[in-house]
Amino acid sequence: MGSARGEATSSGWVTRVTRPFLFGLLIALGSSATSAADSAGLIDSATLEARYASPPSKFLMVDGVRLHVRDEGRGPALMLLNGHLGSLQMWDPWIPELTRHFRVIRLDYPPYGLSGPDPSGVYSTERAVQLVGKLADQLGLKRFHIGGTSNGAMVALFFAIEHPDRVDRLVVSTLPAGRPPVRQPSAAMRAAAQQLREQAPYQRREFWQAFLDDITANDSVVTPELVTRYHDLNNREGAKAWVDAYIQTQYRVWDTLDVPQYYGRLTRPILLQWGADGVVLPEAIGGQVAALLKGAPVTLRQYRGAGHLPMIEQPTASVRDAIEFLKAR
């Protein structure tokens, strides 16, 4: 991806150097306290695997990384990538319908979920792109669809830009193209941030409740089960340091990537799904990101009643659109 590097020259949101609240909170509040904190509340990998790696989960060694993978369904292959702080389970609402039409391969890419740690010590979009390619090789996938959400959407996009011969179509949601706009956090998030300062690296349920309430627009999806999953997987022993490393590399991407030039290199058809009522990447940004993908056929779908997680918040409409798009010719 070296040809895309260099100082960005455009103005506006996609190159603005600001500190987004969610990323900034997690690294600025956590890292300073981590060395002084004990491991109270953290969960070991074996316990988490017993809890969250039920069938059809399996673990594959890919380039030295133990990847958590689920491979289901029959038909054309579709690889799906989770978003920031999420896991492959975030696609669960789509799976019953998707697997009627596609072979669906989901993975937790490091630093998220049950995968990792990466012995290379590198946690970045570029490293995730490498792992996607090597996993596809190992599974015998020469050409496939790819999708992702949030940071996972970036991995999918970067993979398609770097390997257009291997990608058929892309389905992505809330695709970033820079640091999210600065905004005022909720009172609950501010209170949770104070607790995080005091207890890092452990992050209490109250933090994850506030986090999910903040990024979603459909309150009904923030169930106790969803909060518990985010709490458990992100309180895995070692996970906080891996996520902090990923965030730092992502800052460097946004500060050095010529976004219009690089995003303009995509040539494969892409469905861009967006939560129209989100606050992390508001509705207008969906159109801005679509315009950056000027070298590709772009379909933009906005979903009312959804924020940053449309596959969870509006699963019926979003999976219907995804299937229709992926089957189109």
Residues in the chain: 329
Q: How far is CA 297 from each of CA 25, 98, 142, 264, 273, rounded to the nearest angstrom?
A: 36, 22, 22, 11, 14
Ranking 165-174, 195-204, 211-220, 238-247 by mean pLDDT, the lowest is 195-204
CATH number for region 2-327: 3.40.50.1820
* Cα 92 from Cα 2, distance rounded (Å): 35
Beta-strand pair 167-173/298-303: unpaired
* Cα 153 from Cα 174, distance rounded (Å): 7
pLDDT value at residue 39 = 61
Q: Which residue has the tokens 């190992």?
A: 138
Q: How confident is the model at residue 21 (pLDDT cuts 50, 70, 90)?
A: very low
Q: Which two tokens stand for residue 220?
A: 């009904």
pLDDT value at residue 22 = 52
Cα pseudo-dihedral 25, 237, 248, 195, rounded to 10: 10
Asked whether 127 and 120 are in contact (CB, 8 A), the reply is yes
Q: How far is CA 327 from each of CA 78, 172, 287, rounded to the nearest angstrom?
A: 11, 15, 24
* Residue range 154-188, pLDDT digits in tens: 999 999 999 999 999 999 999 999 987 887 778 88
More confident residue, 126 or 17: 126
* Residue range 35-65, pLDDT digits in tens: 434 467 999 999 999 999 999 999 999 999 9
Is the pTM for the entire model greater than 0.85?
A: yes
The percentage of the chain sitting over the pLDDT mark of 90, rounded to a whole number, equals: 79
* Residue range 103-151, pLDDT digits in tens: 999 999 999 999 989 999 999 999 999 999 999 999 999 999 999 999 9
Asked whether 280 and 215 are in contact (CB, 8 A), the reply is yes
**Residue 74 scores a pLDDT above 80:** yes
* Residue range 298-323, pLDDT digits in tens: 999 999 999 999 999 999 999 999 99
Q: Which two tokens stand for residue 184?
A: 């005022």
Q: How confident is the model at residue 194 (pLDDT cuts 50, 70, 90)?
A: confident
Angle (CA) 73 110 108, round 5° = 20
Nearest to 233 by CA among 208, 198, 254: 208
Question: What are the sequence ranges of the domains in the chain?
Answer: 2-327
